[in-house]
Amino acid sequence: MKNRLRVLRAERQWSQADLAQKLAVSRQSVNAIETGKFDPSLPLAFRLARLFETTIEAIFLEES
Amino acid sequence: MSACNRDLNRFQLRHMRLVGAMLACSVAITSGVPALSGRQELSNSTQLILGLLAAGPIIGTMIVIARYLRGETDEYLRSLVVRSILWGFGVVMVSDTLIGAIVEYHPHHAPFGLFNMDIFVVTSMIALRIQLWRDR
């Protein structure tokens, strides 16, 4: 699954460590999600959407 | 996990230390049991007690890992730990089968099976370290 996490993070000038701290996860988790190696659970996706003040669909894009 | 990541929180550190303690117990027992059993003829009940003693750290490790997985809030780390454990089990099964076959053809009394715990923990740690290194 593709996602716009890196773009959204860059817009706010947050490092991976900053985002990880805000989400209370490890920096490796943020990196794995950004690179598409790991798809987050629904609760974590909602936390991301809340943090970026957007919807889950605006962050995660289904690959067709 | 400590051998794999310096940024450990207290919860992870505690469980890491517990796994280390279980491994130390296992090493102590695997060193002691063959020495004990090799010296004299043991009764069936003593053999059973020694067997249970050797299994103790393995049961303890399973409990520690289960508690860690239940309490770990980082779902990605949780998935890495589960994958690493599967690697650990896989390598133990392969080594057991290999050694079992060798012992079948060349029977002797080397207690290779006693090192299952050591192989499991070391393999799991290496697998976890490699996965974290790939996601650095």
Contact B69, B81 (CB under 8 A): yes
pLDDT computed for residue B46 by the predictor: 83
Closest by CA position to B2, among listed B28, B31, B30, B23: B23
Asked whether A16 and A34 are in contact (CB, 8 A), the reply is yes
Is the pLDDT confidence value at A60 over 50? yes
Q: Percentages helix, strand, coil for chain B, rounded to the nearest 5? A: 80, 0, 20
Instruction: List A residues 17-46 in contact with B (Cβ-Cβ < 8 A).
Output: 24-29, 31-33, 35, 37-38, 40-41, 44
Q: What is the pLDDT of residues A6-15, one digit of tens each?
A: 999 999 999 9
Q: Note the pLDDT of residue B5.
A: 53
- How high is the pLDDT of residue B92? 92
Contacts of A38 in chain B (CB under 8 A): 76, 79
User: What is the rounded (10 degree) CA torsion for A19, A40, B70, B8?
Assistant: -30
Question: How much is the pLDDT for A63?
Answer: 74
Residue B2's pLDDT is what? 45
pLDDT for the residue B98: 87
Inter-chain contact B76–A29, Cβ cutoff 8 Å?
A: yes
A2-3 vs A60-61, strand pairing mode: antiparallel
| Distance in Å, alpha carbon of A32 to nearest chain B alpha carbon | 6
What is the reported pLDDT for B111? 61
As for the ipTM of the complex, it is 0.82
Residue B3: predicted pLDDT: 47
* pLDDT tens over chain B, length 136 residues: 444 455 678 888 899 899 999 989 888 887 777 676 666 677 888 888 888 888 899 999 999 999 999 999 899 999 999 999 999 999 999 998 888 888 877 766 666 666 888 899 999 999 998 988 887 7
Q: What are the residue ranges spanned by the domains of chain B?
A: 10-134
- Whole-number Å distance between alpha carbons of A55 and A53: 7
Task: Note the pLDDT of residue B16.
Answer: 87
Identify the residue among B9, B76, B79, B130 best suited for mutation to test binding to A, counting A beta carbons within 10 A and taking the highest.
Answer: B76
> What residues of A are in contact with residue B75 (Cβ under 8 Å)?
25, 29, 40-41, 44
